[in-house]
Amino acid sequence: MQPNLPVGLLKFVDDKDDFLSKAVMGAFHLSSIEYFQKNGGEKVKDPYEGIIKLKDDTISYKEIIEKYDNKAQAYITSFTLLYEDDFDTNGTIKKATLEKLCQTNNGEKRPAVIYNYETFIGHMETLISNNNTYYRYNHKYNLGNKIVKDEYDNEVVKDNHKHYTPIYTIYGNKVKYSDEPFRENKPDIIKGVEKSQDSENGVEFVTKYLKRALLIKNTLYSTQNEYRVLVTAFNLIPDEFSESIDLKAPLIPTKVNPSGTTRKNNHKSIGKVIANEDLDKLNKLDFLEI
């Protein structure tokens, strides 16, 4: 029996505000969890979204952020992983798989962007290894303090006492599906999050629980085969978070300077647009041709 290997990823994208062209370039649009939930989490309602199951209780990502004095936020976007078993012997997408995909599109006629699996994972590795380099975000502050630019051209607040430097971290992973509770208890987690604000490892500590809340889902949803990109943001002014952020596509070194060194001066597409009416013709070869 041959292993059921991943072929690629698919994401439905609104054809507005350049979202489609950006998605093709790997410049993904991420929503805050509140906005993601409000709009159904890729159009599939999940009442357990963002909740960690504990041995005697539950704790939500929202409680974690509140206990961190609301100086953190998380943003996500999701994709569907497609495997060998999702295609018939001719390489065409199976009807059952197509029906599941249409459920995530909630009856809408949005186009899809597809990605070759290996290319997509390589792109994510580039984004992660250059962690703070490829972001731009939409936060606007107006608190009577001076607005300055940090080294990544992000707007930050500077007053006579503090310089708030945003800390962003990006993760990409297949969602884990499990109903097993974690062994910690809620009071200990809350206490740890509150204390972490004054700790060198505070961001790492809080991020660990945000990842549990947002990258693990109930087995009820295991057929979704979801892959998520998660960005955590820290050291931002409470209540001044935007509903979304955009990842910048990394520059690809394609030219050589006279000195012999390469220059990063080009963007390379990593995806391909599939019209909604052509989804039933989707073939494994489409992923190889990207």
How crowded is residue 140: how many other Cβ atoms within 10 Å of its Cβ?
A: 9
Give the pLDDT score at 45.
Answer: 65
pLDDT at 260: 55
Q: Which tokens sit at 155?
A: 């707007």
Give the global pTM. 0.83
pLDDT at residue 146 in the model = 42
pLDDT of residue 132: 46
Query: Are 214 and 226 spatial neighbours (Cβ–Cβ below 8 Å)?
Result: no
Low pLDDT (below 70) residues in the chain = 39-45, 106, 131-166, 236-241, 250-267
Query: What is residue 275's predicted lDDT score, i.e. its pLDDT?
Result: 96
Q: Helix axis angle, 202-215 relative to 186-196, nearest 10°?
A: 140
- Residue 164: what pLDDT? 52
